Amino acid sequence: MLVLSGDRAFPPWPEADVERLRRWVVYGGFLLVDDASDEGDDAFGASVRRELGRILPGSPITPVGDDHVLYRTFLPARWARGTARSPDAVDGVERDGRLAVVVARQDLAGLGARQLRNWEHEVVAGASPSASARSGSA
């Protein structure tokens, strides 16, 4: 599993890096993209879409349906809420019947950022009933 997290635009990657990541995904690797951008700022998202288009040409980024296994768990847990108020749904890229890339705008990594015992980022409440229902905890 690879994680790409960010909150601002980035330049195009060298072709060798694009090829390495393509091989990673094609041969079974999983990429989680964690967009920590402020609401309304799509610079990081645009950079991600540009690079995913190079890595997996012809593989669309589409919403992950509510019935996908990603939203089910055998543990009493809710769908991960990050520090950002964002859509409940995530987007993804499927390859050969498996979810190979997940693109989330919830700033999931921000939940783990803290200094001593104080959170570095404010955690914004906002879990919707539909997100709770997907995880089976409502």
Which residues are paired to 102 by β-bridges?
Answer: 32, 92
CA proximity to 79, closest of 42, 98, 69: 69
Tokens standing for residue 61: 């980024």
Q: State residue 118's pLDDT score.
A: 60
Q: State residue 134's pLDDT score.
A: 36
Mean pLDDT, 10 residues at a time, over the chain (138 residues)?
92 97 96 86 93 95 82 53 57 91 80 57 48 36
Q: What is the pTM of this model?
A: 0.72
Domains, the chain, ranges and CATH? 2-135 (3.40.50.12140)
Q: Where are the alpha helices (DSSP H) in 1-138?
A: 15-26, 43-55, 129-135
